[in-house]
Structure 1
Amino acid sequence: MTSLRARDLMTADVVTVPPATPVLAIARLLAERGISAVPVVDADGAVAGIVTEADLIRRLAGEDDKPAGWLASMFANPARDAERYARTHGITAKDVMTEGVVSVDPDTLASVIAHLMEEKGIRRVLVTQDGRLKGLVSRADLLRALVAPAPEAGDLSDDRIRRAVLAAMKKEPWADTFYALVDVKDAVVEFHGFSRSAAVQRGLRVLAENVPGVKGVVDNTQPMPTYLFAAA
């Protein structure tokens, strides 16, 4: 999955609507197509925003808004309240849509997209190029890529695998290459020596499992003696 990019993951045939589309028509579209969001595209083909289920629910909830009390009115923010009113009472896509759309270009790595979704707390990102919509990557798309069969790594030699494991360890501050020794036999990685903790042992196992060509991991490390802790 690490080498996959937005262009490999995205759904290219994305349903879109123009800004003037009625809210009720959008709700019907989401229900009929079984989708949770629809990008809003203007007449020039540029992305103007996106209408999600959350936007429609906010619109529905806004119908039950009650007038603010006199005390709350004293601290009201007119601009903010006017914007909220428009979004919760609007009748077209341009009124209720989320304008701050998170987008990526087609060459964005899957790992970067995953970080964006986690950081922003969103379920999808749009794939755009020169402001034009190319596709959409959802959480489901990322999950499908995660569980897809890994491409065959070929017959990598044990020496190449060992060097790849050591290179990966050197990138991680917690992976001590001085006390933990690496051996590879028939594509099975064996760790020898000492480890600082069970957490480090687990981390080394996962690190090795992610190296292309590795068929198994054997942990033969021992808890680090006290005198080595003091010297480390």
Structure 2
Amino acid sequence: MSSLNARDLMTPDVVTVPPETPVLAVARLLAERGISAVPVLDGAGKLCGIVTEADLIRRLAGQEDRPASWLRGLFADPAEQAERYARTHGVTAADVMTETVVTVTEATPVTRIAHLMEEKGIRRVLVVQEGRLRGLVSRADLLRALVAPPQAADGLSDERIRLAVMAAMRKQPWADTFYTMVEVAGGVVTFHGFMRTEAVKRGLRVLAENVPGVTGVVDETRPMPSYLYIAA
């Protein structure tokens, strides 16, 4: 999965709307197409923003807003109040859309896209290349990439795989390369020796599975004898 980029995952045929599209038409479009957002493009094809389900729900909820009290109004920011009013009472896509859109390029790695979604708390990123909308990558796209079978790693010998596993173990403070030995045959990693805890056993299995060329993991370790533990 780590070798994939936005171009590999994105949905290229993205439904878009112009800024003047009525809000009710946008809502109907999302419901009928079964999508959760629609980018807004101007007449020249430039990305202006995006209307999401959250934007439409915010507009609906805004109908319950009550005028601020006289005292509260003294301390309120007029610009923020005006922005809130426009977004909750607007009648076009341009009125309610989110203008700050997180974008990536076609070459952006999938790991970076996942990090952006988690960091920003968003469900999708738009793929833009040379100012033009190329596609969209959603959380669903990332999940499909996660369960996709990994690409074959040609040219990796068992010894190279073993060295890669050992190198990965040395980077982890919880991995024990002194009492745990590694063998590789036909791409299958086998752990021998002793293992401190079940948590470490699970961690090493995942570590090995993420090394390119590994086709399987076998654990033949035994619990660490008490006399081998080093006193803290």
TM-score of the two chains, using structure 1 as the length reference? 0.90
Q: What is aligned with 1:202?
A: 202
Output the CA distance in 1 between the equivalents of 2:52 and 2:164. Answer: 43
CA positional deviation for 1:207: 0.6
Output the CA distance in 1 between the equivalents of 2:31 and 2:43. Answer: 25
Matched, 1:141 2:167: no
| Distance change (3 Å), C-alpha of 1:40 and 1:224 | farther
Output the CA distance in 1 between the equivalents of 2:227 and 2:214. Answer: 32
Within-5 A mapping of 1:42-191: 42-154=42-154, 156-191=156-191
Contact 2:153 2:212 in 1 (8 A): yes
Output the CA distance in 1 between the equivalents of 2:167 and 2:144. Answer: 29
Output the CA distance in 2 between the equivalents of 1:227 and 1:173. Answer: 18
Question: Deviations for 1:66-100, whole angstroms, at most 9, x for unmatched residues?
Answer: 11233432332211111111111111111111111
Which has the larger displacement, 207-216 or 22-31? Answer: 207-216
CA positional deviation for 1:196: 4.2
| Distance change (3 Å), C-alpha of 1:221 and 1:162 | farther
Contact 1:188 1:216 in 2 (8 A): yes
AA in 2 matched with 1:189: V
Contact 2:18 2:42 in 1 (8 A): yes
Which has the larger displacement, 46-55 or 152-161? Answer: 152-161
| Distance change (3 Å), C-alpha of 1:204 and 1:7 | same
| Distance change (3 Å), C-alpha of 1:185 and 1:41 | same
In structure 1, the gaps of 5 or more residues are none
Question: Deviations for 1:41-79, whole angstroms, at most 9, x for unmatched residues?
Answer: 122222111000110111111122111233432332211
Which has the larger displacement, 219-228 or 158-167? Answer: 219-228
Output the CA distance in 2 between the equivalents of 1:42 and 1:76. Answer: 33
CA positional deviation for 1:210: 1.8
Output the CA distance in 2 between the equivalents of 1:164 and 1:111. Answer: 21
SS of 2:24's equivalent in the other structure is helix
Q: What is aligned with 2:230?
A: 229
| Distance change (3 Å), C-alpha of 1:54 and 1:110 | same
Which has the larger displacement, 98-107 or 40-49? Answer: 40-49
SS of 1:141's equivalent in the other structure is helix
Output the CA distance in 2 between the equivalents of 1:49 and 1:6. Answer: 19
Contact 1:16 1:40 in 2 (8 A): yes
Contact 1:180 1:221 in 2 (8 A): no
AA in 1 matched with 2:197: S
Q: What is aligned with 1:40?
A: 40
> What is the identity percentage for the equivalent residue pairs of Structure 1 and Structure 2?
71
In structure 2, the gaps of 5 or more residues are none
Which has the larger displacement, 47-56 or 216-225? Answer: 216-225
CA positional deviation for 1:13: 0.8
TM-score of the two chains, using structure 2 as the length reference? 0.90
AA in 1 matched with 2:231: A
Output the CA distance in 1 between the equivalents of 2:228 and 2:144. Answer: 48
Matched, 1:3 2:10: no
SS of 1:143's equivalent in the other structure is helix
AA in 2 matched with 1:147: V
